[in-house]
Amino acid sequence: MPEFSIIIPVYNIEQYIKECLDSVFNQSFKDFEVIVVNDGTKDNSMDIVKNYNVKIINQKNKGLSSARNHGVQLAKGKYILFLDSDDYLEKDTLKEIHKSLKNNPDIVRFQIQEINENHKITKFKEEPFNNLSGEEAFKKIVNYHFVENAWCYAIKRSYYLQGKYMFKEGTIHEDFGLIPLVIIKAPIVNSINYIGYNYRIRNGSIMNNNDYEKTKKKVNDFYAHYKYLVEEIDKTKINSKIFKSFIANSLLIKICELNKEDYKKYLKKIKKDKVIDNLLSDSIPRKLKKILVHISPKLVYKR
């Protein structure tokens, strides 16, 4: 059994896939397997992939969620990592994660830096921690720049499978609909003081697309994820106040991307589902914020 399974979905990414794979095979820690899921790519990405020692899964184009789920099914490693094919790792990422496995954690978080198309690097430093419950870890992680992104974490495969976790297929923002739950329900979570992941900001990517129809789908999917997360956390005995406040806050930010007509429709849904009630009000600033959001989310959340 390898220590790590690195799952890389591939779809029309030939410009970046070599740098991604090189960053994996140049790791200083060598006990890993790589699973590439060909999500029906139409370019020459797979011609590049075939030059590397990877397991390949071929499927029709079903999207990122399906590709990741398929990759997990084939994974044999003790821990799984999700690596997007336009991003890349620092050379000691696996080594630093491995050093954090002495207490047998269910999740290890590592730190991220953004790379834009002009090669400008933005670092997001975080305070590391060790041996926290998922509930205590979530209280810290919720204050970081990246929270629900699947590629921030190495997740113990046995924990992931036991929880029957799966990304919701056919949706956008699939990370938001799963990873917060994976974190908060974990028995042991570590976070290491190492910037191990390079997140590439690309114009025209799914998360940076100005197509308004896609914006509406993003909001619709986000709302469905929110409702799922509420239902699932309510099945647990976990103190869910911070969790619910985070997902409510995230949803309210998202609906502010809509135009006036669609925004009004979602405001009705939000009031019906009492989304705003889930915002924390344990301090004077939070109480004032909650009052303003009740009047109109756009008074608080800028587009």
Tens of pLDDT, residue by residue over 59-107, are 999 999 999 999 999 999 999 999 999 999 999 999 999 999 999 999 9
| pLDDT tier, 118 (very low <50, low <70, confident <90, very high otherwise) | confident
SS3 sequence, the chain? CCCEEEEEEECCCCCCHHHHHHHHHCCCCCCEEEEEEEECCCCCHHHHHCCCCCEEEEECCCCHHHHHHHHHHHCCCCEEEECCCCCEECCCHHHHHHHCCCCCCCEEEEEEEEECCCCCEEECCCCCEEEECHHHHHHHHCCCCCCCCHHHEEEEHHHHHHCCCCCCCCCCCCCCCCHHHHHHCCCCEEEEEEEEEEEECCCCCHHHCCCHHHHHHHHHHHHHHHHHHHHHHCCCCCCCHHHHHHHHHHHHHHHCCCCHHHHHHHHHHHHHCCCHHHCCCCCHHHHHHHHHHHHCHHHCCCC
| pLDDT tier, 211 (very low <50, low <70, confident <90, very high otherwise) | confident
pLDDT at residue 203 greater than cutoff 90: no
Higher pLDDT, 141 or 119: 141
Domains and CATH numbers, the chain: 4-206 (3.90.550.10), 210-299 (no CATH)
Structure tokens at 23: 């960053």
Higher pLDDT, 52 or 204: 52
pLDDT given at position 159: 98
Average pLDDT over residues 190-210: 81
Per-residue pLDDT tens over the stretch 244-299: 999 999 999 999 999 989 999 999 999 999 999 999 999 999 999 999 999 999 99
Separation between Cα atoms, residue 185 and residue 240, nearest integer Å: 11
Mean pLDDT of the chain: 95
| pLDDT tier, 207 (very low <50, low <70, confident <90, very high otherwise) | low
Contact 4, 35 (CB under 8 A): no
Instruction: Say which amino acid occupies 171.
Output: T
- Report pTM: 0.94
Non-local (6+) Cβ contacts of 217 within 8 A are 172
Contact 262, 216 (CB under 8 A): yes
pLDDT at residue 27 greater than cutoff 80: yes
